Structure formats: structure tokens, C-alpha cells
Amino acid sequence: MNPSNLPTQEWPAEPKVQFGPWACEPPLDDESEAFRQSLRQFATKVMRPIGQELDRLSAEQVAAKGSRLYEFFSQYDKLGISLELLFSLSDEQRAVMFPILFEELGWGDAGLAIAAAARMLPFYMAAKMGNQFVLKEYSEQLIGCWGITEPDHGTDSLDVSQQLFHSQGRYGRPNCTARVSDGHIVINGQKAAWVSNGSIADLCVLYCAAETANGPDPQHGFCVVVPTHLPGVSRGKPLEKIGQRALPQGELYFDNVKVSIDHLLAGPEDFKRAVYAIHTDANLLMGATFSGVARSAYDHALAYAHERKQGGLPIIRHQDVARRLFHMLRKVESAQALTRRVARFNAFEPVPALQAAMLAKVTATEHAFEVASDAIQMFGGNGLTCEYPVEKIFRDARASMIEDGCNQVLAIKGGYNLINPEWL
Ligand SMILES: Cc1cc2nc3c(=O)[nH]c(=O)nc-3n(C[C@H](O)[C@H](O)[C@H](O)COP(=O)(O)OP(=O)(O)OC[C@H]3O[C@@H](n4cnc5c(N)ncnc54)[C@H](O)[C@@H]3O)c2cc1C
């Protein structure tokens, strides 16, 4: 090799790289950067003030008509990020835009981000499963929710193949079942208090067991969009909880509810495909949202480390504080990078990889929790008070490790997927 053929890199006398607001991210194309800037502005001006205000209210006050939650929905609609727009993007564009959307919403407020995501799920799943009737019949502005878990079957409802079932377990009847009768799906039972938007939703994308001659079959169920104004649908009280308090949650009850067969997204033969599809996108969405939550906690901690003085110096000048910030940023960047990598991989695969989406969800939510906890430590006593934003972010992040499946269970299922990707 002739060394004179090798290009020499220009190297300034004083090497110095300044991170921008998104740390070591290479520049985005103009369109994606403009998209993110507008979302950042929305997150700063609309989401953070509304999210902080709703966090202090009771769950009933958050869910009540006229609360600022509905102002958030209408402001979000003004951004023009419709499902039509998302589905009109090329695979390449969607792989970039989808994570940016949820990173920025998560940076603004985790509870509101999930409320916006759950709101679109019945429509999103109708588009995925090719149900034109639902897409034409209902407006995207309606509030949606996803009902899958049940009071007696939380983890179990997410484990359709029953790989995790205990050999000595007695799993009992599902809490919610459906059957087809006379051109209608007839639904009975209830979904868990944890249904996001459950207490305010107009439409529910419901996953439930099929009633058969041999009793209910949770492995071959129905996925159906149910308008909540139908006779026989009722709601539980909004749930009081530790974090994501801007997100109303509550049970849905079904008493002989009849919904026309046009609302069916998947029947018993297709049920696992419908579960797989929603899990894959929900896990990726959680990865992006909680990468944003992690960055938000880090940003607050970094700013505070510059402001707060001890010994007459900003605390960031203390060696251990700089070290801690380094590890916080490492976790933020790795959560975001992994989630984007999975978004890209899944956008180009004919069948997106559920186990890859689970890697993103588990990593981002655990990193968000750890970074939020470290942010509290960075703020010292102030971190524990409601006067500062980090205790709320910590509570929001804590919920995410259970949301859409406990991380421990997702790791087992993701691990089994490495043996056989056909298992769900
Ligand atoms: C913020 C938030 C939002 C949510 N949104 C929705 C929603 O929109 N729609 C919806 O339907 N649900 C939603 N959920 C419900 C969520 O999916 C469940 O809470 C979760 O799947 C766990 O179920 P569970 O709470 O019944 O806990 P359980 O299933 O009772 O689990 C309790 C503990 O036992 C462990 N465990 C249980 N079974 C096993 C097993 N087989 N192997 C090993 N360990 C096991 C779990 O890991 C956990 O530690 C949400 C939850 C939260 C917190």
C-alpha cells in the first residue's frame, strides 16, 4: 500500500464538536427536520403546559368534557398528521418520520403522547387489516382505544400462543367473549381498567376470545371495531394512577352488544395476525415515545447542572456530575438509535419483526426510567418536589415498564421468537 494514496483528514488545531439539541445525530433532510421542528414547538408550547396541568388534576377531572385534554387533541389535529398522510409516505420516509413523531410527542408529555397514539388505533388497525367500511364510516377525529387486557387476564391476553402459560395453571374463562349471530358480532364481558382512553373513547379496537361450541377460545378470537355509543356498552370510572396522568384509563363493559359484521377486522383464523400486527407497531411506538421521555429527563438534568451552583461552581464542573450526565446521554442515544434501527428494519421487511420491536420497547422504557431517576438525583432535594418537572417524568416512565406488556414478559416472548419467529 502506498501511504500517499490515503486521504488525509483535515483536523482543526483545537478539535471541538458541539452537540445540537439532538446530540450526536447526523443532519436530517430538510423535510424531516422541518417536521421535527414543528413537533418540538408543539411539544414545548402545547404539550408540556397541558400535560403538567392535567398531572395535578384528578382522573375524573382529566376525563371530563372541557378539560384541556380535548384542547390537546384539537391542537394536535391542526398539525395535519393524519393516518392518510402517514400511510401515503414511502417506506423510507415512514421509517424516519414515525420515530420522530413519537420521540417528540414523548419529549413533550408521555401521557398525552399515548393518548394521541391510542386515539388513532382503531383507524390504524382498520387500515392495516384493509377494512374500508370502518375507514369510510368513521372520522379520524373520534377518540379511539385498544381493549385487549382483562381484569383476570393481563399478561395472559398478550400471550396468545400460551407459551408462557404455567403447566399447572388454571386459566379460567376469558372476561370478554364474542360470537357471530345473524350478521352481527355479539359481545359480552369486560376489558381491564388499563385501557388507554377507555373512559373517553368513541371507538374501541377490541380483541377478545371467540365463543365456540367447546367454550371460549382465546387463541382464535375476534378483532373488531366497536363504537362505544352502541346499546350495552358502558365505561368504568377513570383510573387514578402514579404516572401518565394526562392519559385517561378505564374499563369497558359489554352487555350483549351487537355490532354489524362490517366492523370485523379479523376473525378466528386471522386473530393471531391481528395481535401480531398491533403488538409490533405498539412496541415500536413505545420505543420511540420513551426515547423522547428519556431525552426530556436528560435535557432537564443537563440544564440544571449548568444552573445549580455548589462550592461557587455550576455542579456540572464537579467530576462525578459530568460522569453521570455522560451515562445518562449514553442511555438516551442508545434507546433512540436502536428504536430508529428497528423502525428502518421493520419498514422494509414483508413481515415486521415483533422481537425487534420488543428490543426497542424494553430498552427505551428501561432507559427512560433510569435516566429519569438519575435526573431526580441530579436535582437533589429539588428533584423530589412538584416545583420541578423531573419527578413527573419519573412517574410517567415508571408506568411504561408495565404498559403494553411487562418488560420481563416481553423479554421471554422476544426470546422465544429467537427460537421460532412463528410463535407469538
Ligand atoms: C400505562 C398503561 C397503559 C396501558 N394501556 C393499555 C391499553 O391501551 N389497552 C389494554 O388492553 N391494556 C393496557 N394496559 C395494560 C397492560 O398491558 C397490562 O397492565 C400488562 O400487560 C400487565 O398485565 P397485568 O397488569 O394484569 O399484570 P399481571 O399479568 O397480573 O402480571 C403481574 C406480574 O406477574 C408477572 N407475570 C404474569 N404472568 C407471567 C408469566 N406467564 N410469566 C412470567 N411472569 C408473569 C408479570 O411480569 C408481572 O410482574 C396498560 C397498562 C399501563 C400501565
Q: What is the pLDDT of residues 213-247, one digit of tens each?
A: 999 999 999 999 999 999 999 999 999 999 999 99
Average pLDDT over every residue of 110-122? 98
Interatomic CA distance for residues 361 and 411, integer angstroms? 10
Cα 243 to averaged position of ligand 1 atoms, centre (Å): 15
Cα 153 to averaged position of ligand 1 atoms, centre (Å): 8
Secondary structure of 264-285 in the HEC alphabet?
EEECCCCHHHHHHHHHHHHHHH
Cα 154 to averaged position of ligand 1 atoms, centre (Å): 5
Which pLDDT tens digit goes with each residue over 340-366?
999 999 999 999 999 999 999 999 999
Cα 287 to averaged position of ligand 1 atoms, centre (Å): 17
Which pLDDT tens digit goes with each residue over 271-315?
999 999 999 999 999 999 999 999 999 999 999 999 999 999 999
- Closest ligand 1 atom, residue 159 Cα: 41
CA dist list (Å): 49 to 31, 69, 79:
27, 11, 17
Return the residue whose CA atom lies nearest to atom 48 of ligand 1: 406
C-alpha of 71 from chain center = 21
89-92-93-97 Cα dihedral, nearest 10 degrees: 120
Ligand 1 in reach of 251 Cβ (< 6 A):
no
Ligand 1 in reach of 403 Cβ (< 6 A):
yes
Ligand 1 site-directed mutation target among 208, 409, 412, 416, most atoms within 8 Å of CB: 409
In the chain, the domains with their CATH numbers are 30-137 (1.10.540), 144-270 (2.40.110.10), 273-419 (1.20.140.10)
Q: What is the pLDDT of residue 4?
A: 72
pLDDT band at 111; cut points 50, 70, 90: very high
Cα 407 to averaged position of ligand 1 atoms, centre (Å): 9
Percent of the chain with pLDDT over 70: 99
Query: Please, are residues 78 and 104 in contact by the beta-carbon 8 Å criterion?
Result: no
Interatomic CA distance for residues 336 and 375, integer angstroms? 18
Residue 293, all three cell numbers: 421521555
Which pLDDT tens digit goes with each residue over 139-187?
999 999 999 999 999 999 999 889 899 999 999 999 999 999 999 999 9
Helix (H, G, I), strand (E, B) or coil at 367: helix
